[in-house]
């Protein structure tokens, strides 16, 4: 079963959205939907951070993981903007009201939770990465090198790993190379569904 939502349709958070809070809410949702473990987790971008944490905190509930152009726990989600704008202008007004609870404002705590959660389990792991680098206007050579190193770190979280490159993609392979993302998921669930790879 695929659980998906519409961007912006969620209730406004009333407490800080740390990784642990997001993972706990996901577990509640899966239970309420009547879906039993083990799960194949698929996370894109920031969702990759939460899939990473979920697998570490609840390894017996995870059969496999697919990370699609995932955010690394050490990434700064505002890094590209910081080449041109001071952080104070990016976050201006966003620390008031419910916005102060948003995920991007709680990444430091989520990073600590990942560090404290123990190792990533040895489950099948596929990482799908976009081959296109961000424009040099918005991304420095240092940022490109750092991204490459961090991508390799994520691929090697599990000894049972695969790395697929999406040639037409940057940040959203599920949009620009959807067939690669679909293939990655089908191949990783094949042992449980009996479907051919």
Give the best-scoring range by mean pLDDT among 58-72, 143-157, 166-180.
58-72
Look at residue 87 in the predicted model and tell me its pLDDT: 47
pLDDT of residue 77: 66
What is the DSSP track for 23-89?
A: HHHHHHHHHHTTPPSPEEEEEEEHHHHHHHHHHHH-GGGEEEEEEEEEPPTT--TTTTGGGTS-HHH
How far apart, in whole angstroms, are the C-alpha atoms of residue 197 and residue 190?
Answer: 6
Distance CA 12, CA 120 (A): 31
Give the pLDDT band (50/70/90) at residue 170: confident
What's residue 14's pLDDT? 65
Query: Can you give the pLDDT at residue 135?
Result: 62
Q: What is the pLDDT of residue 65?
A: 98
pLDDT at 172: 81
Q: What is the pLDDT of residue 127?
A: 96
pLDDT confidence band for 138 (50 / 70 / 90): low
Share of the chain above pLDDT 70, in %: 74
DSSP state of 117: S
Q: Which helix (H) or strand (E) holds 179?
A: helix 178-193
- Comparing CA positions, the residue from 66, 29, 53, 98 lying closest to residue 186 is 66
Q: How far apart are CA 194 and CA 192, in angstroms?
A: 6
The total of other beta-carbon atoms located within 10 Å of residue 64's CB is 23
Q: Which domains does the chain have, with CATH numbers?
A: 19-193 (3.40.50.1820)
Percent of the chain with pLDDT over 90: 51
pLDDT value at position 122? 96
Instruction: Quote the CA–CA distance of 58 and 38 in Å, as a whole number.
Output: 10
Higher pLDDT, residue 13 or 164:
164
What's the mean pLDDT in 150-158? Answer: 94
* Of 17-21, 114-118, 154-158, 183-187, minimum mean pLDDT range: 17-21
Instruction: Kindly report, residue by residue over 65-95, the tens digit of the pLDDT.
Output: 999 999 899 987 655 444 444 445 445 444 5
> Is residue 123 within 8 Å of residue 63, measured between CB atoms?
yes
83's tokens: 């080449």
Q: Check residue 90 and give its pLDDT.
A: 47
Angle between helices 46-57 and 19-32 (to 10 degrees): 80
Q: Which residue has the higher pLDDT, 155 or 197?
A: 155
* pLDDT for residue 137 is more than 70: no
- Residues 14, 16: Cα–Cα separation, whole Å: 7
């Amino acid at each position: 079963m695929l659980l998906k939502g519409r961007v912006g349709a969620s209730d406004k958070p009333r407490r800080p959205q740390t990784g642990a809070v997001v993972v706990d809410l996901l577990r509640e949702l899966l239970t309420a939907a009547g879906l039993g473990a083990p799960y194949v987790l698929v996370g894109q971008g920031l969702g990759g951070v939460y899939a990473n944490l979920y697998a570490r905190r609840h390894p017996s509930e995870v059969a496999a993981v697919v990370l699609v152009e995932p955010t690394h726990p050490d990434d700064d989600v505002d890094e590209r903007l910081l080449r041109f704008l001071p952080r104070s202008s990016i976050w201006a007004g966003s620390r008031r009201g419910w916005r102060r609870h948003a995920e991007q404002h709680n990444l430091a705590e989520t990073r600590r939770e990942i560090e404290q959660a123990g190792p990533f389990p040895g489950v099948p792991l596929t990482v799908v990465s976009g081959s296109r680098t961000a424009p040099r206007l918005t991304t420095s050579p240092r940022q490109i090198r750092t991204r490459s190193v961090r991508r390799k770190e994520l691929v090697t979280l599990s000894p049972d790993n695969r790395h697929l490159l999406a040639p037409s993609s940057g940040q959203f392979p599920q949009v620009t190379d959807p067939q690669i993302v679909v293939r990655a998921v089908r191949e990783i669930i094949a042992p449980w569904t009996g479907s051919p790879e």
